Amino acid sequence: MTRYSLGAIVLHWLIAFALAFELALGFAMPRGVEGFALFQLHKSVGISILLLTVLRLGWRLAHPRPAPLESGWAHRMAHAVHVGFYLFMLLAPLTGWALVSTAPIKVPTLVFGTLPLPHLPLADSLNPIVEEAHELLAWFGIALFLLHVAGAVRHEILLRDRLLERMAPGGSRPLGAALALGVLALGIGAFLSIGGAKSGREEPENVATAPVTDSPIAEQTPEASPSAEETSPAASETPAPIPTWTISPGGRLAFKVGNGDAGVVEGSFSKWQGAIAFDPERPETADIRITVDLASASVGDSTQDGMLAGDEFFAVSRFSKAVFTARSARRTGTDRYTASGTLQLKGASKPQTISFRLTGSGLARKVQGSATVARAAFGVGEGAAAEGLDPNVTVNFSFDAKGTLPAE
């Protein structure tokens, strides 16, 4: 027998292409939140390599391999590299699996977005150990990959013993060479393209236009309402009725938070509602209540959306709503206001100020505004996944509102 069996050849090249891509992806993918899609792909390819390796070992036991071309130290070196490769292809995916299973935040794994992969029943205290092991194995894999390529080049160029034909489909030396070059090109190309995209990524623009105000979170306590002398030239005059406002469909409630070198994480809430009583001429009489369905939070990635609903962020299973209430507002400029009140979020209640601007006239207005929320005060964003997040989250809102005067 001078050549490998067809099954061994197919499995060899499938694993080779997968390994080249996986190693490049592992070293080049962004480590921030925006790298989640690539992180999921990295896990999917890793599990695929594990399954292919088990299949390859089973095939090797059932089908004899060709006799070695060399003996002595060269044969022992080649054998050691092959044994090392099998260990690497088994242990690297397993330590990766253990790594996500012991992480402080349990990110669900869907193999290629479809097949759920359960977490291993391991103690979270093992996380630093398996993380270090996984990283060391990655470098070990790079070294083995280079040794394997160097050995193939030695056989083809120096020894000219046509080793490549033994692992080429149909025994075609040109096809074998093309496959080998394809593996190298895939690895290098994936590393350069993913790494280039990471380094060239620009910070995205704001998801919603909102007026810029001076440090809205700085005003943490509601100010006293102006006296009657300041608001009414005639104390005996009956106050005008306060309009109540209905938020029209199509409004937007968005959020963004810095994530260190990884840029900005942006998302929005799709379900929220408000009960608003507000007179632009008498803002001190305002009564505002905004309720947000936390389960509707999305950053455009299903895995990250699941994390937002988890205990480390919004804990939606225990705290389904966030509520902002304010019993007064203050004019800060032409058609510009602030409202200082209370934000109830994740079981905590803290002072919170929002700033907003009105456009339009009468009982048809457009509202644009913003707030800065200190997430840590509410326990939002805990654990390893939130380590790079800025302490403050910017919330932008924009909606049309229709006013109604109470019946006399």
Burial pattern 65-88, b for ≥16 Cβ within 10 A else e, equals eeeeeeeeeeeeebeebeebbeeb
Nearest CA to 166 out of 157, 150, 181, 155 is that of 155
In a domain, 208, yes or no: no
Residues 125 and 252 in one domain: no
Listing DSSP states for 248-277 in one string gives PTT-EEEEEEE-GGG-EEEEEES-EEEEEE
Strand partners, 276: 245, 288
At 100, list the tokens.
């996500």
Residue 243 CA to residue 44 CA, distance in Å, equals 56
Is residue 390 within 8 A of residue 361, CB to CB? The reply is no
pLDDT tens across the length of the chain (408 residues): 577 788 888 998 899 899 989 888 888 877 655 567 788 889 999 999 999 999 999 998 888 877 666 667 777 887 888 899 899 999 999 999 999 888 766 677 888 878 888 889 999 889 899 999 999 999 998 898 888 888 777 777 776 666 667 777 776 777 877 887 888 888 888 778 766 555 444 443 333 333 333 333 333 334 444 444 444 444 445 667 899 999 999 999 999 998 776 678 899 999 999 999 999 999 999 999 999 999 999 998 887 888 889 888 999 999 999 999 999 999 999 999 999 999 999 999 999 999 999 999 999 999 999 999 999 999 998 876 677 788 999 999 999 999 998 875
Residues 342 and 394 in one domain: yes
Listing DSSP states for 61-126 in one string gives HHSPPPPPS--HHHHHHHHHHHHHHHHHHHHHHHHHHHHHHHSSS---EEETTTEEEPPP---GGG
Boundaries of domain holding 184: 6-199
Q: How many domains does the chain have?
A: 2
**For the domain that residue 263 is a member of, what is the CATH number?**
2.40.128.110
Residue 266 CA to residue 255 CA, distance in Å, equals 6
Residues 164 and 260 in one domain: no
C-alpha atoms less than 13 angstroms from C-alpha of 292 in its C-beta half-sphere: 24
Residues 189 and 250 in one domain: no
Q: What pLDDT, on the 0 to 100 scale, is given for residue 92?
A: 93
In a domain, 118, yes or no: yes
Radius of gyration of the chain (CA): 31
Q: What pLDDT, on the 0 to 100 scale, is given for residue 218?
A: 36
Residue 68 CA to residue 74 CA, distance in Å, equals 10
Is residue 353 within 8 A of residue 371, CB to CB? The reply is yes
Q: What pLDDT, on the 0 to 100 scale, is given for residue 217?
A: 35
Residue 268 CA to residue 34 CA, distance in Å, equals 16
